[in-house]
Structure 1
Amino acid sequence: MRLASLLLLLPAAAIAQAAKPAGPAAANGYDCLIEPNQRIEIRSPTNALIDKILVERGSAVKAGDTLVLLDGSVEREALSGAQQRADSEAELRVARARADYAREKFRRREDLREQNYISTQDRDESQAELRVAEAELALAVDNRRLAGIEARRLDAVLKQRALKAPFSGIVTDRLQHPGELAFTGEGSRPILKMAQTNPLRVEVVLPVSLLGQIKAGRAAEITPEAPLQGRWQAQIKVVDRVMDSASGSFGVRLELPNPNGEIPAGVRCKVRFL
């Protein structure tokens, strides 16, 4: 029997189904990639000698953990001096005593001048001494206040000598060692590299025919490639508003919770939108 005669015997629905191209991407999910939510480089905020590095490559750290200690011996000595000046009242007591003495002296000279026992010039000289003493007292108060400000500044500088983890994650590389000089600036070599593994980021490229069907907030099922097993639920966070005209596609970013760190980053996966 000819093929044309056979097609005449088939129902119209069967012919349409046979002519429809297979869609394995839609049936099995779309290719995706699981990546760290962010990657950063830990650099020194200033040129300083590395005193200690408290983590190794592969170390799991929590937000706020101390990673690197830079040498701060000079700043500690300066902080000690500033705190001592801020706490000391010796200069303030001396200036206050001089001001009190000058004030009493001027009062006695003023009484003597009213009784014509001393000249106006003597009274004016004691008044000038009082003004100088009061200015010295104000200067002593300012010096103590400035010493307190300097102590707080040096304390902040010392805190910057302890480099802390900005988020929970994994140390992916260690590029410097204790005893080396760490330099500041983008062109300098970082001390450590970190990756945030909770949550993870899932990137997928979809055909433009799905535009309008994929919306932020929807759930999706993530299946990592073998030998990993299991399925995890992610949530759509970003849907690109600019299409790639060359490939007729657009990008989507999903957020995949990973509180126990059981899902490794950097693996391929399949995503199926629920």
Structure 2
Amino acid sequence: MLAVLFPLCSIAPASAQAFDCVIDPSVVVRIGSPVPGLLKDVLIARGDQVNENQIIARLHSDAEQATVELMSEQAASTSEIEAQKARLDLARNRMKRAEALLARNVTSTDKLEEAVAEMEVIQKELATAETRKRSAELELQRAQTVLEQRTIRSPISGVVLERSLFNGEYLDQDGKLATIAKLDPLFVEAFIPVSEFGKLHVGMDAQVVPNAPIQGRFTGKIKVVDQVFDAASGTFGLRIELPNPNNHIPAGHRCSVTFDDGADDLE
């Protein structure tokens, strides 16, 4: 019986070992702008918490705002269409009268044909007016899109790591306004000896213990196991997703990690 137990005890599961790791933000975004311009308002500072889609800056947009107001007036106007509809009603009545007179041999066929031709011309002019109105509505949408591009929003919820520009400075198309890091969840990056490959798999629980002065033991899940080894160090990369509500755990800190159920894969 002892001879059977000793070989099993000699196999150390991955959960019995601690490995060095680093806690990183899950996303780091360098915020720019789709259009260049002069900054009117920068509404964030280093250390601020921001939400996804929150306005963080505005460019000067007086010209774009005026264009939107002009296009709004043009898109809302129906006077040309209403005028063409009134002309079309009149042309229809003239055509009906010409038909009635022709039926009594009071007028000629030419008069009826003129009335029909006039109605068809007005119908085309009405269609053109409706097309112009639709074009004005599309131009308004385009102008609104251009105006919206002058408002810079945060693409993620996170913390402002750096603010690079201030009110009155010029932001070009390749420039950087700020850097924002997403801290919930965090990514824990570890490099594990190749001897542990096959014992760790995606979905397995991991216990992360940050180095001092951060206290606590936190549970995450393995999200990525690299399939390419680093021959120089004899390790492979592994990523753990670690929930971090309220941003309790800071990023950019060293840690150690152990793995639960490591023995399951050895059976």
- Normalised to the residue count of structure 2, the TM-score between the two structures is 0.84
Q: 1:261 is matched with which residue? A: 247
Decide which of 168, 183, 193 is 2:172's aligned counterpart: 183
Q: 5 Å matches for 1:235-274?
A: 235-274=221-260
Q: 5 Å matches for 1:81-120?
A: 81-120=70-109
Show CA shifts across 1:174-229 (max 9, x none).
Answer: 11222233222xxx111111111111110000111001111111112212222322
Deviation, structure 1 residue 116: 4.4
2:160 and 2:179 in contact (8 A); partners too: yes
Aligned pair in 2 of structure 1 residues 121, 211: CA closer, same or farther (>3 Å)?
same
Q: 2:159 is matched with which residue? A: 170
The residue identity in structure 1 corresponding to 2:165 is Q
Q: Distance in 2 between matches of 1:76 and 1:189?
A: 24
Q: 1:159 is matched with which residue? A: 148
Show CA shifts across 1:45-65 (max 9, x none).
Answer: 112332211101111112222
Q: What is the root-mean-square deviation of aligned Cα atoms in Å?
A: 2.3
Decide which of 122, 138, 143 is 2:127's aligned counterpart: 138
1:79 and 1:155 in contact (8 A); partners too: yes
Q: 1:17 is matched with which residue? A: none
Q: 1:227 is matched with which residue? A: 213
Select the structure of larger CA radius of gyration: 1
2:19 and 2:258 in contact (8 A); partners too: yes
Q: Distance in 2 between matches of 1:210 and 1:197?
A: 29
Deviation, structure 1 residue 26: 8.4
Deviation, structure 1 residue 156: 3.2
Q: 1:9 is matched with which residue? A: none
Moved more, 74-83 or 259-268: 74-83
Moved more, 250-259 or 236-245: 236-245
Count of paired positions = 249
Gapped regions of structure 2 (runs ≥ 5):
1-9, 261-267
Q: Distance in 2 between matches of 1:210 and 1:255?
A: 19
Deviation, structure 1 residue 27: 6.5
Deviation, structure 1 residue 135: 0.9
Q: 1:72 is matched with which residue? A: 61
Deviation, structure 1 residue 255: 0.9
The residue identity in structure 1 corresponding to 2:67 is A
Percent of aligned pairs sharing the same letter = 39
1:208 and 1:250 in contact (8 A); partners too: yes
Deviation, structure 1 residue 112: 3.4
Decide which of 20, 23, 34 is 2:23's aligned counterpart: 34
1:175 and 1:189 in contact (8 A); partners too: no
Q: 2:48 is matched with which residue? A: 59
2:165 and 2:178 in contact (8 A); partners too: yes
Aligned pair in 2 of structure 1 residues 106, 26: CA closer, same or farther (>3 Å)?
closer
Moved more, 263-272 or 143-152: 143-152
Deviation, structure 1 residue 272: 1.6
The residue identity in structure 1 corresponding to 2:65 is R
Q: Distance in 2 between matches of 1:115 and 1:26?
A: 105
- Normalised to the residue count of structure 1, the TM-score between the two structures is 0.82
2:17 and 2:258 in contact (8 A); partners too: yes
Which SS does the other structure have where 2:203 is aligned? coil
The residue identity in structure 2 corresponding to 1:240 is D
Q: Distance in 1 between matches of 2:155 and 2:103?
A: 73
Q: 1:43 is matched with which residue? A: 32
